[in-house]
């Protein structure tokens, strides 16, 4: 009769090793996942700002203010169209600036530029502890005036754009 002998040398020594390895890799994995999600959020803000700047430049080029019925300036109307509450926030939200790069009194054919800027904080938990700086995300659009501006003014800008 043959005897079956099990060899278990060292098996007891490895119990819990997977748990320790997982505990070591988990912070790095979570930082990577959260970083990718935060990058996606920042990219969404940039895309939204670019679309809003394009929309505002088009309204400015044709001398229209869709927010006039609600007693809003063009800049306030555009800010209200943002997809995220962070960009719409009245205190820390996006800065919206309409200006004329050539200066002086704008006339038909001159460019009108719309800039939308937002200061984005990367992973605030890590930013405060590691001293990371915030990044300004900006969207810009330039179009030619098709009518002299009478329904909006550069003096109605929300914040100061750089």
Strands 135-144 and 111-120: antiparallel
Q: Which residue has the tokens 């914040």?
A: 159
Based on the number of CB atoms within 10 Å of its own CB, is 72 exposed (0-12), middle (13-18) or buried (19 or more)? middle
Inform me whether the pLDDT recorded for 5 exceeds 80. no
Inform me whether the pLDDT recorded for 7 exceeds 70. no
Q: Where does the pLDDT of residue 110 fall: very low under 50, low under 70, confident under 90, or very high at 90 and above?
A: very high
pTM, two decimal places: 0.81
Q: Which residue has the tokens 């935060």?
A: 38
The pLDDT of residue 90 is 73
**What percentage of the chain reaches a pLDDT higher than 90?**
54
Look at 15-24, 72-81, 120-129, 142-151 and tell me which has the smallest mean pLDDT: 120-129
Inform me whether the pLDDT recorded for 3 exceeds 90. no
Residue pair 83/118 in contact (Cβ under 8 Å)? The answer is no
Cα separations in angstroms, 81 against 36, 51, 58, 88, 133: 26, 10, 14, 8, 28
**52: helix, strand or coil:** helix
**61: helix, strand or coil:** helix
Residue pair 76/140 in contact (Cβ under 8 Å)? The answer is no
If one compares 8 and 101, the residue with the highest pLDDT of the two is 101
Inform me whether the pLDDT recorded for 9 exceeds 70. no
Average pLDDT, stretch 107-126? Answer: 91
The pLDDT of residue 125 is 80
To the nearest whole number, what is the mean pLDDT of the chain? 88
Q: Where does the pLDDT of residue 2 fall: very low under 50, low under 70, confident under 90, or very high at 90 and above?
A: confident
Spell out the alpha helix ranges (H) of the chain: 17-61, 74-80, 85-88, 124-130
**Spatial separation of the C-alpha atoms in residues 52 and 80, rounded to whole Å:** 10
The pLDDT of residue 8 is 59
């Amino acid at each position: 009769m043959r005897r079956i002998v099990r060899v278990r040398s060292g098996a007891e020594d490895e119990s819990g090793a997977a748990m320790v390895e997982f505990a070591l890799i988990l912070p790095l994995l979570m930082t990577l996942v959260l970083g990718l999600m935060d990058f996606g959020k920042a990219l969404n803000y940039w895309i939204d700002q670019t679309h809003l700047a394009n929309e505002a430049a088009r309204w400015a080029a044709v001398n229209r203010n869709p927010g006039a019925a609600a007693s809003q300036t063009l800049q306030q109307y555009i800010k209200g169209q943002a997809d995220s509450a962070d960009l719409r926030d009245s205190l820390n939200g996006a800065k919206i600036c309409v200006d004329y790069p050539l200066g002086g009194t704008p006339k038909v054919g001159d460019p009108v530029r719309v800039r939308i800027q937002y200061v984005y904080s990367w992973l605030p938990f890590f930013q405060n502890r590691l001293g990371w700086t915030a990044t300004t995300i900006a969207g810009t659009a330039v179009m030619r005036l098709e009518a002299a501006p009478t329904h909006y003014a550069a003096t109605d800008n929300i914040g100061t754009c750089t």
